[in-house]
Structure 1
Amino acid sequence: MKSCVTISSVPSLKGGPWILWDNLEKSLETASEIGFDGVELFTSKASIDTNVPLARLLERHNLTVGAVGTGAGKVLHGLTLTDPDSSIRKKAREFIKDMIIFGAELSAPSILGSMQGSYGNDCTRETAIRYLEEALQELGEFAISQGTFFIYEPLNRYETNLFNQFEDACNFCRSLNSNGIKVLADLFHMNIEESSIEASIRPNADVLGHVHFADSNRKPVGFGHTDMKPICECLKEINYNGYISAEAFAWPDPDTAARQTLKSYRQFFCQSDV
């Protein structure tokens, strides 16, 4: 498994669940200095303006990219894959395709979280699920064509009413006509929705593609009450070898949050006597 920390390059969204907020070059330097293996990027579009090419910066700091987020498509542009308006759904797919290309150039998958949308008003659940199914099948195949895969993230009930529980999301993704979709296990969302996080993950190892590492209050692990021991034991048992990525609030400040995250990662994933 590989340690990973989130970096947001969207100043207008400061305060959201991303650990590092300084300019990208400074954030990469910080992530490297603290000892992370990789970074997860949250950007406003499918590019980042830097004085030095991003790939060169990553190489300089010995970092990889674990994933790129697509949430700005909804938060900044109001785009979702289940909007009743077909023109908005089309724009959402195109935005995500651009993000998939951006991620693939960095050898990273992209994540679908908030851009999945919800049903209600002018869109029934059945219709919304159909829209999501069609979009994921197309985007999964597109990701394969770019040499990567696409990650679907089930969110808690306060953020979507489509799929909230991990197993339901996994079964849905297995039913798609694409092998390009994996599922994200976000420990914060799962703490709200699951009776047992580890029991939900264990039978679905075949589609697990990414892990978001946050405590029960979405602060860095160690600042809440999630029992991490059985979760980390489960991830070891299923031989998960992907990223353990800190999508959490920068509490009490970015530097402390990053250091606490890596301390917890090493405690739970790098010691045999956890």
Structure 2
Amino acid sequence: MKPCLTLSLVPSLRGGPWVLWDDLANGIRKTSELGFSAIELFTEGPSAGEPGELKTLLEENDLELGAVGTGAGKVIRGLTLTDSNQATRTDARKFISEMIEFGAEHGAPAIIGSMQGSSNETANREECLHWLGEALEELGEKSRNAGTFLIYEPLNRYETNLFNRFGDACEFLDGLQTKGVSLLADLFHMNIEEENIAQSLRDGAKYVGHVHFADSNRRPVGCGHTPIEPIARALAEIGYEGCVSAEAFDWPDPDTAARQTIDSYRKYFS
């Protein structure tokens, strides 16, 4: 497994669940110096820094790009894959497609979290799941053809009413033709929704493609009450080799949160 730190390059979202902020070069250097293997980026769109800068920084610091988030498509542009307006859905797919291309340039997958949307009075659940399935089919194949994969994230009930539990999302993916989509096991969301996080990971082992490493209160692991040891054991048992990425609040400050994360990773996974 690979310890991974998050970096947001979207100043307007300050206060969100990312450990490092704003400075691409310094963030990558700090991530490497602390002993992380990868960095996960949250950007406004399909770029980071000047042309070629990201590639150079990753190479100089012996760091992988673990994943790219697409959430700015919703929070800044108002786009979701299940909007009742077809033009908005088309724009959402286009934005995610561009993010897939951006990530794939560095061997990284794109994450669909908030851009999945929710059913509401203008679009019922059946319609939304149809649109979501169509989008995952298209974008999953695009990811696979680009040499990577797409990550779909079940969210807790307060953020979507589509898929909250890992097992339900697994069943949905079973019904798709594409083999280019995996799931994000976000420990914060799973702590709210799962009866037994470790067992859910075992049951859905074939779809575990990325892990968000955060405690029950979305602070760095070790600052809440989620039982990490059985989760770490389950990930080892299923042979998971991907990123364990700290999508957590920068509490009490970014440097302390980053150190707390790598210490917790080493405690449970080394």
**Alignment map for 1:149-228 (pairs within 5 Å):** 149-228=149-228
Q: Secondary structure at the match of 2:260?
A: helix
Cα displacement (A) at 1:99:
0.2
| Letter of the structure 1 residue corresponding to residue 92 of structure 2 | A
Q: Secondary structure at the match of 1:244?
A: strand
Alignment deviations for residues 99-147 of structure 1 (CA, whole Å, 9 cap, x no partner): 0000000100000000000001110000000000000001001111111
For 2:234 and 2:48, locate their aligned partners in 1 and report how far apart those are by CA, in whole Å. 36
Q: Does 1:259 align with 2:259?
A: yes
For 1:261 and 1:52, locate their aligned partners in 2 and report how far apart those are by CA, in whole Å. 29
| Letter of the structure 2 residue corresponding to residue 40 of structure 1 | E
Cα displacement (A) at 1:51:
7.8
Under a length normalisation based on structure 1, what TM-score does the superposition of the two structures give?
A: 0.97
Partner of 1:243: 243
Cα displacement (A) at 1:54:
0.8
Q: Is the 8 A contact 2:73 2:115 kept in 1?
A: yes
| Letter of the structure 2 residue corresponding to residue 163 of structure 1 | F
For 1:265 and 1:210, locate their aligned partners in 2 and report how far apart those are by CA, in whole Å. 15
| Letter of the structure 2 residue corresponding to residue 25 of structure 1 | A
For 2:169 and 2:268, locate their aligned partners in 1 and report how far apart those are by CA, in whole Å. 26
For 1:173 and 1:52, locate their aligned partners in 2 and report how far apart those are by CA, in whole Å. 35
For 2:75 and 2:48, locate their aligned partners in 1 and report how far apart those are by CA, in whole Å. 18
For 1:209 and 1:136, locate their aligned partners in 2 and report how far apart those are by CA, in whole Å. 15
Gaps of 5+ in 1: none
For 1:202 and 1:131, locate their aligned partners in 2 and report how far apart those are by CA, in whole Å. 29
Alignment deviations for residues 4-40 of structure 1 (CA, whole Å, 9 cap, x no partner): 0000000100110000014111111111111110000
Partner of 2:113: 113
**Alignment map for 1:38-117 (pairs within 5 Å):** 38-50=38-50, 53-117=53-117
Cα displacement (A) at 1:50:
3.3
Q: Does 1:143 align with 2:143?
A: yes
Q: Secondary structure at the match of 1:80?
A: coil
Gaps of 5+ in 2: none
For 1:68 and 1:93, locate their aligned partners in 2 and report how far apart those are by CA, in whole Å. 15
**Alignment map for 1:28-47 (pairs within 5 Å):** 28-47=28-47
Cα displacement (A) at 1:52:
5.9
| Letter of the structure 1 residue corresponding to residue 110 of structure 2 | S
Alignment deviations for residues 173-227 of structure 1 (CA, whole Å, 9 cap, x no partner): 1211100000110000000001110011101111110000000000000000000
Q: Secondary structure at the match of 2:21?
A: coil
Q: Secondary structure at the match of 2:176?
A: coil
For 1:243 and 1:51, locate their aligned partners in 2 and report how far apart those are by CA, in whole Å. 26
Q: Is the 8 A contact 1:7 1:21 kept in 2?
A: yes
Question: After the TM superposition, which of the residue ranges 26-35 and 46-55 deviates more from structure 2?
Answer: 46-55
Under a length normalisation based on structure 2, what TM-score does the superposition of the two structures give?
A: 0.99
Q: Is the 8 A contact 1:25 1:50 kept in 2?
A: no
| Letter of the structure 2 residue corresponding to residue 202 of structure 1 | R
For 1:24 and 1:112, locate their aligned partners in 2 and report how far apart those are by CA, in whole Å. 22
Q: Specify whether residues 182 and 79 from structure 1 end up closer, same or farther in structure 2 by C-alpha distance, changes over 3 A only.
A: same
Q: Is the 8 A contact 1:186 1:211 kept in 2?
A: yes
Cα displacement (A) at 1:49:
2.1
RMSD: 0.8
Alignment deviations for residues 69-111 of structure 1 (CA, whole Å, 9 cap, x no partner): 0000000000000000000000000000000000000100000
For 1:3 and 1:54, locate their aligned partners in 2 and report how far apart those are by CA, in whole Å. 19
Partner of 1:130: 130
Q: Secondary structure at the match of 2:183?
A: strand
Q: Is the 8 A contact 1:7 1:20 kept in 2?
A: yes
Q: Specify whether residues 198 and 16 from structure 1 end up closer, same or farther in structure 2 by C-alpha distance, changes over 3 A only.
A: same
Question: After the TM superposition, which of the residue ranges 77-86 and 137-146 deviates more from structure 2?
Answer: 137-146
For 1:50 and 1:27, locate their aligned partners in 2 and report how far apart those are by CA, in whole Å. 15
Q: Secondary structure at the match of 1:95?
A: helix
